[in-house]
Amino acid sequence: MTVPWVVKYRPRTLDDVENQEDVKEELRSWIDSWLKGSPSSTAVMLYGPPGTGKTSMAIALANTYKLELVETNASDTRNLSSLRSIVERASVSGSLFGIRGKLIFLDEVDGIQPKQDFGAISAILEILRNTKYPILMAANDPWNPNLRDLRNAVKMVEVKKLGKIAMRRLLKKICTGEKIKCEDSALDEIIEASDGDSRYAINFLQSIAEGYGEVTEKLVSELVRRKERELDPFETVRSVFWARYGWQAKQAVSNSQVEYDLLMRWLSENIPVQYEMLNDIWRAYDALARASIFLTRARLSSWDMLSYTFDLMGPGVAMAEVEKKSPSWKAKWKKYQFPTLVQQLYKSKRTRDVRDQIIKKIGYHLHSSSAKIYNDVFPFFLITASRSSDEMAKYLELTPEEMEFISSSKVEEGITRETRTSTQSSEGTTRSRSTSRSRSRKS
């Protein structure tokens, strides 16, 4: 299995960390004070944008001082009992491996929510008071009011974005180590798009190098996209099918602007377009079907299930192509197509709008909801209205276009209940996604 380059080229010691001299000096001074028995601070919180190397520095610090690293994600650990079982035990017990002791690392402490993760902050504060070992934390945004007590209890150290010169030096080192043909102008494009996020830059470099065998300015300019920009349907589908690694496919579906249900239809429509082998097609559809199950469970029980949906409709579909395991695999350009349902809904939109206006007028007179009128009244109304259209038109104040709809012989076969249900499902997904987007991306 190929190791992601962000892991393969992660700095081993503090001396290997690029362009963070002030931070490294702060960390050295802090650990030295612990080793001397008079710690300047119980804990340090590293804060800064994603991709600046906070996690890498924690690992490098432990390696430099030969400390056993006890690592956990604070936003995933969630509650008081979980944190105590994982961290408190480590903070008071002896080290099994390290010569000098342990370094406890809590990642993503800004992901802790006071309501959902009740007791987590108080648990961390209690651990800080009783710990026998230094505790290092990391946060992208530590200024949330919920973290005020935590900020007051630790030493804050800012980790700034990686500069362009340091980023170029890092990417050049990787290109040399991997023996990649890479144009300097191509690196400039990647550095500009990454906006100081080294993780994004390295991942993008790897995806192009392994997908095309070289990194040229032309390739980068065609494929590069601004960090954090949401992908449109065509970009999302292409990024999933062209992904050589699971993390690339998951990143594509996580950054997509397409609603979950609709994205599944896009993938479903284009799986047989992209994949040529029957077994690859079968595996992709199997993953997509399982993703649909977890999406339903997420809506009915817990949005935490959404992470499994992303795993299945992203990496699950992308890794269905067995040929990707071959070093000679190349991404194949295909012309993707809109989902058939989208085309049908677009073509029938005006007709459905007219139908809904009639239903609304009937509901007004009968003092009933549009859903009840559609299910219980509208089929019978069409039959009755076709026989006494003039009376109905006068009573409901129907427009000529609405009268033409009623008199059409293809009304009942053209506007199906399935289309109505699909429309409502799409509208419901839009509302639910707006409330769950930030939580799902963190999963």
pLDDT value for 87: 61
pLDDT value for 114: 59
How far apart CA 332 and CA 142 sit, in angstroms, is 43
Q: Is the pTM of this model over 0.85?
A: no
Low-confidence ranges of the chain (pLDDT < 50): 1, 76-79, 96-99, 226-229, 409-443
> What are the backbone dihedrals phi and psi of residue 240, each rounded to the nearest 5 degrees, phi first?
-70, -50
pLDDT value for 20: 85
> What's the sign of the alpha-carbon dihedral 441, 275, 205, 57?
positive
Q: What is the pLDDT of residues 229-267, one digit of tens each?
A: 456 688 788 889 988 888 888 888 877 777 888 889 999
CA distance readout (Å), 250 to 237, 319, 418, 432: 11, 11, 30, 20
Q: What is the pLDDT of residues 145-204, one digit of tens each?
A: 778 888 889 999 988 888 888 899 999 999 999 888 889 999 998 888 888 888 888 888
How far apart CA 278 and CA 140 sit, in angstroms, is 44
pLDDT value for 360: 87
How far apart CA 321 and CA 331 sit, in angstroms, is 11
pLDDT value for 301: 80
Considering only the C-alpha atoms of the chain, give the largest distance between any 2 of them, rounded to a whole number of Å: 96
